[in-house]
Amino acid sequence: MKKLSFAKSDELFELAERVIPGGSNKYVRKRTVMGGIEIQRPKFIDHAKGSRIWDVDGNEFIDYGGMGPTILGHGDSKVTEAVREQLKKGVVHFGLNYELDIKLSEKMVKSIPCAEQVHMLNTGSEATTAALRIARAYTEKAKVIKFDGHYHGIHDWTILNLFGGNISPRLISHGLTKGAVEDTIILQWQDLDSVERVLSNQGNEIAAIITEPYQFNGPCIIPEKGYLEGLRKITKKNDVLLIFDEIISGFRVALGGVQELEGVIPDIATYGKAMANGYPISAVASNKKIMETVTYGRVFLKGTYHSNPISTSAAYATITELERKESYKHLNQIGDSIIKGLKDAIDDLDIDAIVQGVGPCFTIIFTEQEKIMRTSDLRATIGVKTTAMAYPHDRRSAVFAKEMINQGILFQPTWRNHLYLAHNKEEADITIEAAQKALKQTKKIK
């Protein structure tokens, strides 16, 4: 196996640390230590195309990483062309409406079951902020339920109880207001009894439940049949709004997201990431009655860069590509073939590991458990109580990650990996073969 060098990446990190807190505006760390094993990995990108990226040291990788926005592939020509056309018009930012906004909104209303209207913003955090504010204004109630381990952005109301929190299991960040923390009730996911109990006691104080409908922040948990329907029923019964945070799942698992696949329609949904193949745009979607809170100005949501024409044209081109019949078929076929390859290798080698997720987004988890149902199972499986911000995975995860990187594949255990339309069958086979070798190495770990 070729030994990769990351000398230039390390050099740049030293420079970055001088002017950027922690040396990164992303989750890139100076040293990645998992289970006591240091993992050398690329820290600075140079260029990318399709499913491949090249770092500043000239190493080439098949990429499944990123944070979720890439769905067509890096530097997709149709999206680049749409952006270029927009730049040629000179319409980059104006304080006026822009016709493509209507067309993009029409596309979203057509494909998203809960959407009669959509409001565009820039980031996922803004979209979930908007969803919670709308829910509070509409119901005239203050509290919100979120689930342990679910991530909904950097704002104060939900940045609690995440996996990988660096202060305590509950508190992820200092600097939050007491009111925001007190107004957020944390429950375990996939436990309808606790939701029922809290709503029957406190339903008159609770504006909404916010949930990732598939928990992709973590070990790609697809809920048990009936769970989302159960949430829908209980929220309706108690006049509490149901918000699906589809920032990751939206446009990734299907054009209409999880709500299309599962047939459960929330009151409000949020979108971002895959909707523009990497350009910054997000949206909050709902029915007209709930959106009247925005129409008549009871909820303030306007922003300088909302519905920015560059991102809008990228989103329009991305969704147009995804509308092609073959798109989700391809994502599922290639993704499913990798999932099957991983499962077969796990069985053949008799390893305690499982694969969770769906074709467009999935992961491998080293565990003795048959499945991971919620974040507390994950904490238990890798022995983490109060999690340190360093990746706290076990040694098998560390060896697997390291071996995959050494074979030129950015594919992480425990956390989600993403399929792009640009991934092909040959790359899926290369990935499976690399995973077989990496899994063999994990067997040597005591």
Annotated catalytic residue 183: no
Contact indicator for 409, 62 with CB cutoff of 8 Å: yes
By CB under 6 A, residue 152 contacts ligand PLP? yes
By CB under 6 A, residue 107 contacts ligand PLP? no
Residue from 55, 245, 267, 394 carrying the catalytic annotation: 245
Which residue lies nearer to ligand PLP by CB, 134 or 428? 134
By CB under 6 A, residue 157 contacts ligand PLP? no
Gap between the Cα atoms of 278 and 315, Å rounded: 9
Which residue lies nearer to ligand PLP by CB, 112 or 428? 112
CA distances from 220 to 39, 156, 188, 319, 367 (A): 23, 24, 16, 23, 14
Which residue lies nearer to ligand PLP by CB, 272 or 360? 272
Residue from 138, 151, 316, 328 carrying the catalytic annotation: 151
By CB under 6 A, residue 245 contacts ligand PLP? yes
- Dump strand ranges (E) for 70-227: 117-121, 143-147, 184-187, 206-211
Which residue lies nearer to ligand PLP by CB, 248 or 373? 248
Nearest-CB residue to ligand PLP? 124
Task: Return all residues near 28 (Cβ < 8 A) that are at least 6 apart.
Answer: 13, 43
Strands of 117-121's sheet, edge to edge? 117-121, 282-286, 268-271, 241-245, 206-211, 143-147, 184-187
Which residue lies nearer to ligand PLP by CB, 123 or 424? 123
By CB under 6 A, residue 124 contacts ligand PLP? yes
By CB under 6 A, residue 40 contacts ligand PLP? no
Contact pick of 51, 70, 105, 125 for ligand PLP (by CB under 6 A): 125
Tallying the residues shown for the chain, one arrives at 446
Contact pick of 59, 217, 407, 412 for ligand PLP (by CB under 6 A): 217
By CB under 6 A, residue 259 contacts ligand PLP? no
Which residue lies nearer to ligand PLP by CB, 247 or 434? 247
CA angle at 439 for the pair 435 and 440, rounded to the nearest 5°: 120
Which residue lies nearer to ligand PLP by CB, 66 or 73? 66
Number of neighbours of residue 206 by Cβ within 10 angstroms: 24
Instruction: Mark the segment that binds ligand PLP (CB under 6 A) among 162-170, 243-251, 306-314, 414-422.
Output: 243-251
Query: Rg (Cα) of the chain, in Å, rounded?
Result: 22
What is the three-class DSSP state of 431?
A: helix
Instruction: Mark the segment that binds ligand PLP (CB under 6 A) among 71-79, 121-129, 202-210, 410-418.
Output: 121-129
Counting Cβ atoms within 10 Å, is residue 155 exposed (0-12), middle (13-18) or buried (19+)? middle
Strands of 361-366's sheet, edge to edge? 353-358, 361-366, 417-418
CA distances from 278 to 30, 59, 72 (A): 25, 22, 10
Annotated catalytic residue 245: yes
Sign of CA dihedral 13, 15, 18, 20: negative
Gap between the Cα atoms of 122 and 129, Å rounded: 12
By CB under 6 A, residue 247 contacts ligand PLP? yes
By CB under 6 A, residue 151 contacts ligand PLP? yes
| Residue 138: alpha-carbon gap to chain centroid | 27
Which residue lies nearer to ligand PLP by CB, 136 or 146? 146
Minimum CB distance to ligand PLP, residue 215 (Å): 9
Taking the CA atoms of residue 348, residue 411, residue 245 and residue 97 in that order, the dihedral angle to the nearest 10 degrees is -140
What is the three-class DSSP state of 384?
A: coil
By CB under 6 A, residue 13 contacts ligand PLP? no
Minimum CB distance to ligand PLP, residue 151 (Å): 5
Residue from 43, 146, 273, 402 carrying the catalytic annotation: 273
Q: Are strands 241-245 and 409-410 parallel, antiparallel or unpaired?
A: unpaired
Instruction: Mark the segment that binds ligand PLP (CB under 6 A) among 19-27, 146-154, 219-227, 382-390.
Output: 146-154
x-or-dash string of contact with ligand PLP, 187-216, rule CB under 6 A: -------------------------x----
- Chain residues that interact with ligand PLP, rule: CB under 6 A: 67, 123-125, 128, 151-153, 212, 217, 245, 247-248, 272
Query: Which residues are known to be catalytic?
Result: 151, 245, 273
